[in-house]
Structure 1
Amino acid sequence: MTANAVKEGYWYGQETVAVEVLNALRDYRSAEAAMRRRTGSSMGMGETDLLALRYLLENERAGRDVGPKELAARLGITSASMTTLVDRLVRSGYVVREPHPTDRRALVLRPTKGSDLEVRNTLSGMHGRMLDVAASLSRGESLVVMDFLRRIREAIDQVEPDVKPTGQN
């Protein structure tokens, strides 16, 4: 057991390997968030902007159209915030608004060709290092990690949004 497993966690004094695993997961999530901030900063955009652009690039590669309403739902932001975000991405040259191919009242958001190239150039080194680490796992280790992450995601997805903190009515 590492000394910081209990000191840095909020797992209420439990000293188990499970706590160490959860602390390692929290450390990873913190490192990933910091990386997104650094990447966004180097590209002149905020973390939400970068998440939006990544989602648009993924859908563009899959041949799926994404409108502002879908993107707002994905990011968990209001339509007013979405308008501000899209305006910012359009102004910076990362996204264009286009008419929807079948609904003339709707818009589709598309990443520009330059945005895909810039994201790839900015993140390619990190992605290569991450792929190297994942490739170093045996097939069995990979299956264990994937199963763990799937079950952790399911546990997180079960959090009830209207639960009030203790002591509040």
Structure 2
Amino acid sequence: MDADGHAKGYWYGKDPGQKELAVGVLNALRDYRVSEQAMRKRTRSSMLMGEKDLLALRYLFEAEADGRVMKPKDLGDRLGITSASMTTLIDRLVDSGHIRREPHPTDRRALILRPTPTSDQEVRHTLGAMHRRMLDVASGLDQEQAHVVMDFLRHMSEALDTIDHEPADGYGPS
């Protein structure tokens, strides 16, 4: 373990030629993920909501900001949940006052979902200061640094989204 509590060499082998800086970057990324997960847990706890509930609100806020309507099926597809689970989630969010069902503006057989103004205020109150701090950090990057970070994160997403069918040589528990 190093001074920050990171295990050295567990995933990346014990090759002395290993790039210490690259492993440091990956450890910093892990530390960020731990902080983000802890923040999400605190948010869920303070708002008395589950992860899917918060994601549903986020998607509804985004749709409203873009001038789009969101039907229950659209939201269920976005969340990757079944229609039965979607019904339960919607009922829970309606009962808690976070969303409301409304008639579709052009299809009288359909319903749309909208976040309530109260839920918007609650989310802004709960997350506003944290989002401002994050924006301040990102705003401290110059244009070149911002592009490097964005490219790095895109490439990391691609690396995570790739499914390996066989373990790569030299990687894995040692």
For Structure 1 versus Structure 2, the TM-score category normalised by the shorter chain is 0.7 to 0.9
Partner of 2:66: 62
Unaligned runs of 5+ in 1: none
Pairing partner for 1:107 from 86, 99, 111: 111
Aligned to 1:104, the other structure's residue is in SS state coil
C-alpha distance in 2 between matches for 1:104 and 1:25: 48
Larger displacement relative to structure 2 (54-63 or 13-22): 13-22
C-alpha distance in 1 between matches for 2:39 and 2:32: 10
Q: Taking structure 1 as reference, are residues 98 and 8 closer, same or farther at Cα in structure 2, changes over 3 Å only?
A: farther
Aligned to 2:102, the other structure's residue is in SS state strand
Q: How many pairs does the alignment contain? A: 163
Amino acid of the residue matched to residue 91 of structure 2?
A: D
Pairing partner for 2:33 from 23, 29, 33: 29
RMSD: 2.5
Normalised by the length of structure 1, the TM-score is 0.84
Pairing partner for 1:151 from 151, 155, 169: 155
Pairing partner for 2:127 from 119, 123, 127: 123
8 Å Cα contact 1:96/1:111 also seen in 2: yes
Amino acid of the residue matched to residue 158 of structure 1?
A: T
8 Å Cα contact 1:5/1:23 also seen in 2: no
Q: Taking structure 1 as reference, are residues 57 and 24 closer, same or farther at Cα in structure 2, changes over 3 Å only?
A: same
Which structure has more relative contact order (CA 8 Å, sep 6+)? It is 2
Unaligned runs of 5+ in 2: 168-174
8 Å Cα contact 1:5/1:19 also seen in 2: no
Partner of 2:82: 78
Partner of 1:11: 11
| Deviation string, structure 1 residues 17-47 (Cα, Å, up to 9, x no partner) | 2232222222212221221121121112112
Larger CA Rg, structure 1 vs 2: 2
Pairing partner for 1:96 from 96, 100, 109: 100
Larger displacement relative to structure 2 (151-160 or 125-134): 151-160
Q: Taking structure 1 as reference, are residues 9 and 107 closer, same or farther at Cα in structure 2, changes over 3 Å only?
A: farther
C-alpha distance in 2 between matches for 1:94 and 1:65: 16
Partner of 2:47: 43
User: Do structure 1's residue 20 and structure 2's residue 24 form an aligned pair?
Assistant: yes
Normalised by the length of structure 2, the TM-score is 0.82
| Deviation string, structure 1 residues 1-28 (Cα, Å, up to 9, x no partner) | x566861785242643223222222221
Q: Taking structure 1 as reference, are residues 45 and 105 closer, same or farther at Cα in structure 2, changes over 3 Å only?
A: same
Amino acid of the residue matched to residue 158 of structure 2?
A: E
